[in-house]
Amino acid sequence: MPHPRFKGVLTALVTPFKAGAVDEAAFVRLVERQIAAGVHGLVPVGTTGETATLSHDEHRRVVELCVATAAGRVPVIAGAGSNSTEEAIELVRHAKTIGADAALVVTPYYNRPSQEGLYQHYAAINAAVQLPVFVYNVPARTSCDITNETLQRLAKLPNIIGVKDATGDLVRASLQRLECGPDWVLLSGDDPTALGYVAHGGHGCISVTSNVAPAACAAMMDAALSGDFKAAVAWQDRLVRLHKALFLDASPAPTKFALAHLGLCEAGVRLPLASCSDAVKPAILAALSEVGDGALSQ
């Protein structure tokens, strides 16, 4: 059976800023809100956490804060990707050292490795650090798509335990489940199709939307994983416009705008990202109202 701790909704946390620096107090409050709302795990310093513009010291500090605040109540999958294999190994090693439960390692961006290069990248990480690793496949951002065939090879390695699949390709999920075996953990990285991903045998979602509506996202995923798809669809209907609205501008600017609207942190992002466009703010606010105050209060 797949690793039981890695299922459900795992929030791809934003990194709040204040006066240009990481707002550690706001980050701790966000983590506490997530846990109180019933999410099943936390993912700091991924794409939504603006890892590309964090310094190495900031990256490590945010992971440490997340692990310390969670204190074992939910698993923490630390963002640890790089297009340098050695740097990725260093980040995974740090995640293990400070007590993260797993690492999320994106396919190397910009240098566009071959499938053999991708295999060797993850095999090197597997050999260097004894920590569960999720392969993060998001070709829209990396210009690099890891195939099911390569994942099938990686699934044989002891520390490569699953995937965050942000392709939105649901057929890929069904085939991967068959090819990678019963222990392979399948996590969606695409909120709008996460319900369908679970219907195809997935185990959960690393979610952007749950930053804003953690209780609603957790309720939807709990229903789907228990087989109550009528309830899950009802939650999806309340959430789907928010799923879409949070990507009407470069992520995570819309998510931070929504969190600022809820009084949870400041809306600022780091260049080259710009603050959420005024043109899309009405759609975000309308989507928030569809979820409902009760599902946003935690």
pLDDT at 297 over 80: no
Within a domain: residue 241?
A: no
Within a domain: residue 263?
A: no
**pLDDT at residue 53 in the model:** 96
Tokens matching residue 52: 């590309």
Within a domain: residue 254?
A: no
**pLDDT at residue 160 in the model:** 98
Tell me the per-residue pLDDT of 115-146, one tens digit each, with 9 for 90 and over.
999 999 999 999 999 999 999 999 999 999 99
Mean per-residue pLDDT, 5-25: 96
Q: Whole-angstrom Cα distance, residue 91 to residue 95? A: 6
CATH number, position 76: 3.20.20.70
Q: Is the dihedral of CA 87, 91, 96, 98 positive or negative?
A: positive
Backbone angles phi, psi at 274, to 5 degrees: -110, 160
Domain of 140, in residue numbers: 8-226
Within a domain: residue 58?
A: yes
Q: Whole-angstrom Cα distance, residue 217 to residue 171? A: 23
Q: Is the dihedral of CA 116, 161, 195, 205 positive or negative?
A: negative
pLDDT band at 5 (very low <50, low <70, confident <90, very high): confident
Question: Tokens 């509506």 appear where?
Answer: 213
**pLDDT at residue 126 in the model:** 98
Within a domain: residue 264?
A: no
Enter the pTM of the model: 0.96
Number of domains in the chain: 1
**pLDDT at residue 294 in the model:** 58
Q: Catalytic residue numbers?
A: 136, 164
Cβ 69 vs Cβ 31: under 8 Å:
yes
1-5, 21-25, 278-282: least confident range: 1-5
Within a domain: residue 286?
A: no
Within a domain: residue 84?
A: yes
Within a domain: residue 56?
A: yes
